[in-house]
A and B are shown apart, each in its own frame.
Chain A
């Protein structure tokens, strides 16, 4: 202790005390934030959850006119092997008749050789209305336009997965995917 403090214990150096208060509070807040961050961040997707966010699917096993459904990270996706009639129906619709105009070709991804593969349509399996899963050829109901039908609120999708009738505002989304080989696609979230 310095002489001045021992001489007059009643005097308080207000500036030094303010500095100590500010420093202590700042250190506490920064410390609390540093502790809170991992506690909050632990709820974000874990590495294995993120790693499971893509899937390679062999499309050669899908029968003509049929579809398979895959779950990636818990989200459904449709892979449909379209017949020539279905492809023609999807390609033949004038754009001005569509609530969410997109050509069939816009909804396909080129194969490694740069060609489109209209026989294989890959879409999200989530209805754009309220997130139900539409039914399709496997369930025996393809709706009025031959694609999918959402039983929750009656949205009809065509053979390109485009909304044609009902409350859904948008077409079935096209996921991020690429052809690894002409027969295998890799779908990512």
Chain B
């Protein structure tokens, strides 16, 4: 923490010489060795370290993959297959990189939920939270850019959908779209700029991570009680060895799961369509983004209605970006003085509702919005026909045989007729997505601001060390 004095003492002559010129060893010592850390951090707090490992894995495998990858529309797909088949250990490097993206997002979502639950975004850690939101945005941009590079069907058509979103912006939309693609459609020039930016952004993430850690080390860690450190002696332990070991253990467990995906199910989180080379003349039947973007995709598709002059398409884009923008405003939306949900019995329930809503939105994003969840009746067949005299008619049948017989009859009379499915009313994914989208925004914009003023929190412990030692600490040791 900013208050604590450096305990580094250079021992050798070289260390003394360096310390008076560039005190980098002192910085590392004060940041990661003798950094006072609350003694009650649980395993949810290990995901920061896990994320640092994820970033390192992505950068290292990415740099190596770039040595073999060719960013042209004619060769990109083949160069990825060459990595898989011919480059020594290329299959391993590519699978680690592809699975690594998913693991990175898995870890970042746990890290964000941890911050939301323990109120880590509240004063004095607002800047820390904002920098985290910036990292999350950069991660999504990097993942989107990277998904284009294998030049599979989902790469091309997924990117087409996302770039198409910018076209919904009034006035500048079309020009912006052309500017992003560098031409009338996604082509070679688009692939090349995506590759360039995909290589750049992780280093920008690394830069913001440094600021993120700096902003963490000024106020120090939050902790599960949300009570600030009052007595460094009693409330904290040095980062090393206590948390280097705890983080290390969690990293090992995480890497076991990571390795299980890499070696036993490397493609389970991807889409089979992306092993078909991109073809602008054939559209995949279901265009869906990678799993970690599904909740936002569900929000985009949930908006099917216009509001005033704003079209549904633009409104969907506004809501999707709004769902991320609202995270930036969170430190000022949550009015409660109590940080940790441990001591907020009502807010805690709404929080778990929010987690459920986020996960269910992912389910909606993966599903066809028009598919029923709860059918309210059976689908029927509808025969629509137009007689020679130009009179329209519709007849509804339960079975195909009857419908087909009726259609033949009408066709024999010289009418045109066609059979289509008349869907029964149902509670569909689109309806669920709309309800969940409403809850997502209500949680941030209504529930948190209102609850903070009305809720009666439980008693927080007076100090961190009392929560750790429980009732024993209440009895004076003397």
- In the complex, which of the residues B184, B282, B390, B420 contacts A53, with contact meaning CB atoms closer than 8 Å? B184
Size class of the contact patch on chain B: 20 to 34
| Residues of chain A in range 118-164 having any CB-CB distance to chain B below 8 Å | 125, 130-133, 144, 151-152
The reply to whether the CB of A31 lies closer than 8 angstroms to some CB of chain B is no
| Residues of chain B in range 415-464 having any CB-CB distance to chain A below 8 Å | 418, 420
The reply to whether the CB of B241 lies closer than 8 angstroms to some CB of chain A is no
- From B283, which residue of chain A is reached at the shortest CB distance? A132
Chain A residues whose C-beta falls within 8 Å of the C-beta of B164 in the assembled complex: 130-131
The reply to whether the CB of B29 lies closer than 8 angstroms to some CB of chain A is no
- In the complex, which of the residues A45, A76, A94 contacts B390, with contact meaning CB atoms closer than 8 Å? A94
The reply to whether the CB of A8 lies closer than 8 angstroms to some CB of chain B is no
Proximity bits, B182-202, A CB within 8 Å = 1, else 0: 111111010001000000000
Contact B184 A189 (CB under 8 A): yes
Chain A residues whose C-beta falls within 8 Å of the C-beta of B186 in the assembled complex: 74
Proximity bits, B157-190, A CB within 8 Å = 1, else 0: 0001100100000000000001110111111010
Chain B residues whose C-beta falls within 8 Å of the C-beta of A152 in the assembled complex: 283, 285, 287
Whole-angstrom distance from the CB of B355 to the nearest CB of chain A? 31
Chain A interface, >50% SS class: loop
Chain B residues whose C-beta falls within 8 Å of the C-beta of A151 in the assembled complex: 283, 285
The reply to whether the CB of A44 lies closer than 8 angstroms to some CB of chain B is yes
The reply to whether the CB of A46 lies closer than 8 angstroms to some CB of chain B is yes
Contact B285 A49 (CB under 8 A): no
The reply to whether the CB of B280 lies closer than 8 angstroms to some CB of chain A is yes
Provide the bound-state CA to CA distance between A74 and B283, in Å: 13
Proximity bits, A69-104, B CB within 8 Å = 1, else 0: 101111110000000000000000010000000000
The reply to whether the CB of A32 lies closer than 8 angstroms to some CB of chain B is no
Whole-angstrom distance from the CB of B243 to the nearest CB of chain A? 43
Provide the bound-state CA to CA distance between A71 and B180, in Å: 20
Contact A74 B189 (CB under 8 A): no
Chain B residues whose C-beta falls within 8 Å of the C-beta of A36 in the assembled complex: none
Contact A43 B281 (CB under 8 A): no
Contact B179 A43 (CB under 8 A): yes
Contact B280 A133 (CB under 8 A): yes
Contact A69 B281 (CB under 8 A): yes
- From A70, which residue of chain B is reached at the shortest CB distance? B281
- From A150, which residue of chain B is reached at the shortest CB distance? B283
Given the interface contacts A131-B164, A133-B281, does A74 sit within 8 Å of B179 by beta carbon? no
Contact A46 B280 (CB under 8 A): no
Provide the bound-state CA to CA distance between A46 and B184, in Å: 11
Chain A residues whose C-beta falls within 8 Å of the C-beta of B420 in the assembled complex: 144, 165
Provide the bound-state CA to CA distance between A69 and B280, in Å: 11
| Residues of chain B in range 280-296 having any CB-CB distance to chain A below 8 Å | 280-283, 285, 287
Contact A133 B283 (CB under 8 A): yes
Given the interface contacts A43-B193, A49-B183, A49-B187, does A74 sit within 8 Å of B280 by beta carbon? yes
Chain A residues whose C-beta falls within 8 Å of the C-beta of B281 in the assembled complex: 69, 71, 76, 125, 133
- In the complex, which of the residues A71, A74, A94, A144 contacts B183, with contact meaning CB atoms closer than 8 Å? A74
Contact B282 A133 (CB under 8 A): yes
Whole-angstrom distance from the CB of B71 to the nearest CB of chain A? 15
Given the interface contacts A45-B178, A130-B161, does A73 sit within 8 Å of B285 by beta carbon? no
Proximity bits, A161-185, B CB within 8 Å = 1, else 0: 0000100000000000000000000
Contact B179 A44 (CB under 8 A): yes
Given the interface contacts A49-B189, A71-B280, A152-B283, does A131 sit within 8 Å of B160 by beta carbon? yes
Given the interface contacts A49-B189, A73-B183, does A44 sit within 8 Å of B178 by beta carbon? yes
Contact A43 B187 (CB under 8 A): no
Chain B residues whose C-beta falls within 8 Å of the C-beta of A74 in the assembled complex: 183-187, 280
Contact A75 B185 (CB under 8 A): yes
- In the complex, which of the residues B179, B180, B182, B418 contacts A46, with contact meaning CB atoms closer than 8 Å? B182
Provide the bound-state CA to CA distance between A32 and B184, in Å: 29
Whole-angstrom distance from the CB of B276 to the nearest CB of chain A? 14
- From A125, which residue of chain B is reached at the shortest CB distance? B281
Contact A45 B185 (CB under 8 A): no
Contact B182 A49 (CB under 8 A): yes
- From B313, which residue of chain A is reached at the shortest CB distance? A130
Contact B185 A73 (CB under 8 A): yes
Chain B residues whose C-beta falls within 8 Å of the C-beta of A73 in the assembled complex: 183-185, 187
Chain B residues whose C-beta falls within 8 Å of the C-beta of A49 in the assembled complex: 182-184, 187, 189
- Could you list 16 A-B pairs, sorted by A, with CB under 8 Å? A43-B180, A44-B179, A45-B182, A45-B183, A46-B182, A46-B183, A49-B189, A74-B280, A75-B280, A76-B281, A130-B161, A130-B164, A131-B283, A132-B283, A144-B418, A151-B285
Question: Contact residues of A with B, CB < 8 Å?
Answer: 43-46, 49, 53, 69, 71-76, 94, 125, 130-133, 144, 151-152, 165, 189
For the complex of A and B, list the 10 residue pairs with the smallest distance between their C-beta atoms, beginning with the closest. Answer: A74-B185, A132-B283, A73-B184, A144-B418, A49-B183, A45-B183, A74-B187, A75-B185, A189-B184, A133-B283
List 9 other contacts, CB 8 Å, given A73-B183, A132-B283. Answer: A43-B179, A43-B180, A45-B178, A45-B189, A69-B281, A75-B185, A131-B164, A133-B280, A133-B281
